[in-house]
């Protein structure tokens, strides 16, 4: 089958993209209101919500950047994976119940809606929506760029020279089509397919990587140990504090990712949360095997002299698939990569559209736009076009800056205000506003001015630590704020 | 209310750990050095010289994180000023800290260059990370799944909430 490798990969990608279009058309009939468009009418079951939570968490970074980081730094980046167990636990304990209750009580259709209800503050709603919009634009641009680069590579192998603009145009058209027609309904049902594709791809890659070495992981470890024991030690080459700061920001930070926690407002019954937690964490753990196995395998293969040295670390996954994976597996994994990117990008488009048509207008003029469903669809197209233009023409540095800004900013801005404030009546709107503003200033300031953190500590972790400390300090220093009676009652449950 | 002061104290201690790092002189290879043969790879080089003096601070950083996380779980579960199954939460936290402690202890020997016997394909400290640190929070997951009605949501809460929703809709 080797001579047909490129054709098989292209077919797998085409089938996947067509499936997304089909799901978009199917979801169109189920989307009648803004509530359907943004939170799927709160009708989702365990399987769909569980896989939507997991597939929104694992973006294209997990399929390309993750293995690349393992190739480059050894085991350091595995802390971003290892933290998932406590991260999912924290997110479900802190938010699955509160968000669902607030959403049901106040008919909230977005995270800033719930924030405004909790704090009785339009300024907190506005800052939450602004932080979401800034993070979304950065994340979305990097996801669209990644999608375009992957599709360009797939198309070029079959058709010769293909421009990045065309590849971005095709992939964005599919993404926008199903997001516009079906909103979050299409998004979560494509997430279901995407999550399954990712898990199948990860298991197959794990088996392939193990079979590439005598003794499987033990064989890889011996090669890595002979070259540099630290690379396969618990901290990797980055060192102890870089690794542990990732543990902090990626575990607790999960509670502040709006594209993930918003899914907790969408399940039909609160009782489903007890099944959604193990499902989403289990699925994530399976899919993360791709991250771990490809990264370690490629580092060991290069050190063993079986593969030439890579020029860029991010080539680890494509090179491994090209040389070690059966053509059908390569096709499934490339489709899985698209799935990983799109499942995150569609969530961003949806919460970004909610910020533009619902949250920011409500914060500024007390009501959202008329005919919200129509404007949500328009905003989805506009956001995707802006992000695509931004990805193509703003220069790599700016895209990388905003992309890196994403997770840490969401974590530092929203963990205090949302994850903690929804569980602590003493938390005040002022404290939430200060936490959000300080996180934006630290994350942007450190990146813009090139400030270096000691011992490789992650900037997002420092920003999160500062915003949490300010949030607790300010709330404890002031008298308890007034909370609406229904919200206070929900917080007592 | 005291518990939130404790959480603030833990945060200040975490800030203290990070602040201490700003004041220390950093070893040249503390965050790795370029691999001499493979351009896109980094080396960690000698573990004992770059981490030997930092292990205590590193353990404190990890243990304080776990204490903070367990405190947040308690905050999430608190009802009427009480945290149900507090003993179980503390036991889960202790298990998580124990996993970190075992990883640090086995890393001490690993960094000194003592012979390594692989466990499930990985050096012992890495196996502790992958199985122990990753696995320990499963305790909290099981608590959530198996004790959902006692900890999170029972029939009585649901009835109260349904009344609350009905009141709210009637008044608006």
Q: Nearest chain A Cα to B161, which residue?
A: A490
Q: Which of B17, B138, B10, B148 lies closest to B72 in space, CA to CA?
A: B10
Q: Nearest chain A Cα to B172, which residue?
A: A106
List, in sequence order, every residue forming a beta bridge with B34; answer none if it has no partner: B42
Which of B38, B46, B69 minimises the CB distance to A86? B69
Å between B161 CA and nearest CA of chain A: 7
What residues have CB less than 8 Å from A85, skipping those under 6 apart? A281, A285, B134, B135, B136, B137, B138, B141
The model's pLDDT over A135-180, given as tens digits with 9 standing for 90+, comes to 888 788 888 888 888 888 888 888 888 898 999 999 899 988 888 8
| pLDDT band with cut points at 50, 70 and 90 for residue A397 | low
Question: Per-residue pLDDT for A406 more than 80?
Answer: no
B21 touches chain A (CB under 8 A): yes
The model's pLDDT over B78-136, given as tens digits with 9 standing for 90+, comes to 887 788 889 999 999 999 999 999 999 999 999 998 888 999 999 999 999 999 999 99
pLDDT of residue B44: 92
Across B40-50, average pLDDT: 90
Question: How many residues make up chain A in this entry?
Answer: 493
Q: ipTM value of the model? A: 0.96
- Chain A residues 377-416 with a CB less than 8 Å from chain B: none
Residues of chain B positioned with their CB less than 8 A from the CB of A78: 129-130
The answer to whether A179 touches A21, Cβ cutoff 8 Å, is: no
Instruction: State whether the Cα torsion A183-A255-A391-A162 is positive or negative.
Output: negative
Say how many CB pairs under 8 Å bridge A and B.
248
**Contact state of B73 with A462 under an 8 Å Cβ cutoff:** no
A470 touches chain B (CB under 8 A): no
A248 touches chain B (CB under 8 A): yes
pLDDT of residue A84: 95
Whole-model pTM: value is 0.93
B152 touches chain A (CB under 8 A): yes
pLDDT of residue A399: 54
Å between B137 CA and nearest CA of chain A: 5
| pLDDT band with cut points at 50, 70 and 90 for residue A1 | low
Question: Per-residue pLDDT for B1 more than 70?
Answer: no
The model's pLDDT over A225-274, given as tens digits with 9 standing for 90+, comes to 999 999 999 999 999 999 999 999 999 999 999 989 999 988 999 999 99
On average, the pLDDT of chain A sits at 89
The model's pLDDT over A275-313, given as tens digits with 9 standing for 90+, comes to 999 999 999 999 999 889 999 999 999 999 999 999 888
The model's pLDDT over A8-67, given as tens digits with 9 standing for 90+, comes to 989 998 998 898 889 888 888 888 888 788 877 788 899 999 998 998 888 777 777 888
**Contact state of B134 with A85 under an 8 Å Cβ cutoff:** yes
B13-17: long-range contacts, CB 8 A cutoff, minimum separation 24: B13/B60, B13/B64, B14/A465, B14/B61, B14/B64, B14/B65, B14/B68, B15/A465, B15/A466, B15/A469, B17/B57, B17/B60, B17/B61, B17/B64
Q: Supply A380's token pair.
A: 């989805």
B75 touches chain A (CB under 8 A): yes
For Cα atoms A28, A274, A51, give the angle at the middle one, nearest 5 degrees.
40
């Amino acid at each position: 089958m080797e001579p047909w490798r490129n054709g098989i990969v292209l077919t797998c990608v085409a089938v996947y993209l067509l499936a997304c279009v089909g799901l978009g058309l199917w979801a169109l009939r189920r989307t009648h209101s803004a509530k359907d468009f943004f939170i799927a009418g709160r009708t989702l079951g365990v399987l769909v919500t569980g896989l939507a939570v997991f597939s929104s968490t694992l973006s294209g970074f997990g399929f390309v950047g993750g293995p690349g980081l393992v190739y480059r730094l050894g085991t350091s980046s595995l802390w971003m994976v290892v933290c998932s167990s406590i991260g999912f636990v924290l997110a479900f304990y802190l938010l699955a119940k509160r968000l669902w209750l607030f959403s049901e009580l106040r008919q909230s259709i977005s995270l800033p809606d719930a924030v405004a209800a909790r704090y009785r503050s339009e300024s907190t709603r506005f800052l939450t929506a602004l932080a979401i919009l800034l993070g979304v634009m950065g994340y979305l641009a990097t996801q669209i760029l990644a999608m375009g680069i992957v599709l360009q590579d797939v198309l070029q192998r079959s058709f010769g020279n293909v421009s990045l603009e065309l590849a971005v145009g095709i992939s964005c058209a599919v993404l926008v089509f199903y997001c516009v027609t079906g909103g979050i309904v299409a998004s979560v049902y494509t997430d279901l397919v995407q999550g399954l594709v990712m898990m199948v791809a990860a298991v197959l890659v794990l088996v392939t990587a193990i079979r590439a070495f005598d003794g499987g992981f033990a064989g890889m470890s011996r090669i890595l140990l002979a070259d540099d024991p630290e690379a396969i030690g618990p901290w990797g080459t980055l060192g102890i504090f870089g690794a542990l700061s990732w543990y902090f920001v990626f575990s607790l930070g999960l509670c502040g990712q709006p594209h993930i926690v918003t899914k907790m407002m969408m399940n039909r019954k609160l009782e489903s949360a007890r099944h959604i937690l193990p499902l989403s964490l289990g699925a994530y753990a399976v899919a993360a095997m791709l991250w771990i196995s490809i990264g370690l395998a490629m580092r060991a293969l290069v050190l063993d002299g079986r593969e030439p040295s890579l020029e860029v670390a991010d080539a680890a996954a494509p090179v491994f698939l090209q040389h070690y994976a059966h053509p059908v597996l390569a096709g499934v994994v490339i489709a899985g990569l698209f799935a990983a990117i799109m499942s995150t990008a569609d969530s961003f488009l949806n919460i970004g559209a909610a910020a533009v048509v619902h949250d920011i207008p409500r914060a500024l003029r007390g009501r959202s736009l008329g005919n919200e469903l129509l404007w949500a669809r328009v905003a989805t197209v506009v956001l995707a076009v802006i992000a695509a233009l931004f990805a193509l023409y703003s220069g790599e540095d700016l895209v990388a800056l905003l992309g890196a800004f994403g997770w840490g900013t969401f974590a530092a801005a929203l963990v205090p205000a949302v994850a903690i404030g929804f569980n602590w009546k003493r938390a005040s709107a002022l404290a939430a506003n200060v936490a959000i503003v300080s996180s934006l200033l630290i994350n942007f300031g450190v990146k813009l001015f090139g400030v270096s953190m000691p011992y490789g500590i992650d900037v997002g972790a420092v920003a999160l630590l500062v915003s949490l400390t300010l949030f607790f300090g300010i709330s404890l220093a002031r008298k308890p704020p007034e909370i609406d009676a229904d919200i206070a009652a929900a917080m007592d449950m | 209310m005291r518990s939130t002061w404790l959480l603030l104290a833990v945060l200040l201690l975490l800030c203290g750990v990070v602040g201490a790092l700003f004041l220390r002189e950093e070893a040249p290879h503390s965050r790795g050095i370029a691999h001499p043969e493979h351009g896109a790879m980094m080396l960690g080089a000698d573990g004992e010289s770059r981490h030997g003096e930092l292990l205590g601070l590193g353990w404190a950083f990890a243990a304080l994180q776990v204490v903070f996380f367990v405190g947040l779980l308690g905050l999430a579960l608190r009802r009427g000023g009480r945290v149900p199954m507090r003993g179980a939460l503390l036991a889960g936290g202790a298990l998580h800290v124990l996993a970190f402690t075992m990883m640090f202890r086995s890393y001490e020997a690993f960094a000194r260059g003592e012979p390594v016997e692989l466990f499930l394909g990985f050096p012992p400290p890495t196996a502790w990370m992958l199985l122990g640190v990753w696995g320990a929070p499963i305790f909290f997951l099981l608590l959530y799944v198996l004790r959902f009605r006692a900890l999170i949501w029972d029939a009585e809460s649901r009835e109260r909430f349904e009344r609350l929703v009905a009141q709210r809709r009637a008044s608006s």
